Structure 1
């Protein structure tokens, strides 16, 4: 059974560009072995990530993610059973922040700042879907 899990978290103060690259590199290496796909958005110290795959594999990965000291305040936004993947082309896609249009953020949020803590889960997922559709996601595998 396929599921999609959506969560948000806040970056540890010490996280830098090299840490983000390491997260993405490890995801791209490990996720295909476990049948996991997804997309990661990081802006202004906030992560928004969607994970897709088998229920037990996604659950195990989310448990490891929650324990990662590079972020805190993990908030599970939604988990749903799905009939097909939306992010099937990415072992872990990354939102290209240079293509993150403030108008896209304001469409789904109170402000033009990424804040999934203040958005309905459906709006956060709609934002990720729109970013994929607008080619704002890089790192297709």
Structure 2
């Protein structure tokens, strides 16, 4: 059974540490059959994970236990018939290529603040990010 999980967290990871995390995630997720997207801005992570229920749940529990993440908040969790982000073992959103009006469409300000958004709004934002072509790489 496939599931989609969306969460937010805060991190003090440097850009170099973030690059290492992203590289490790891509390798590890591919081995687990997990796909998704990661958006990172000003110390805030928003990530959507898709895959088998057991693999996604295990990965989320590892993230919650990881000292590099704090304020981990589950925004949405659902069973799905098919993946929406199947093309990326862990795609990365480039906020530099993002039209600021898109953020304003779903949030109170022109900055990424998943803690002030509903899970449905963050999910809709991720859908538009794919449509807008702001995914950096797989």
TM-score with structure 1 setting the length: 0.95
What does residue range 71-110 of structure 1 map to in structure 2 within 5 Å? 71-110=69-108
> What residue in structure 2 maps to residue 137 of structure 1?
135
Taking only aligned residues, the RMSD between alpha carbons, in angstroms, comes to: 0.8
> What residue in structure 2 maps to residue 26 of structure 1?
24
State the SS of the aligned residue for 2:23: helix
Give aligned pairs, total: 138
Partners of 2:98 and 2:45 lie apart in 1 by 14
TM-score with structure 2 setting the length: 0.97
The answer for unaligned runs of 5 or more in structure 2 is none
What does residue range 11-50 of structure 1 map to in structure 2 within 5 Å? 11-12=11-12, 15-50=13-48
Partners of 1:126 and 1:46 lie apart in 2 by 18
Superposed displacement of residue 45, structure 1: 1.2
Which consecutive aligned stretches of 4+ in structure 1 deviate over 6 angstroms post-superposition? Answer: none
> What residue in structure 2 maps to residue 6 of structure 1?
6
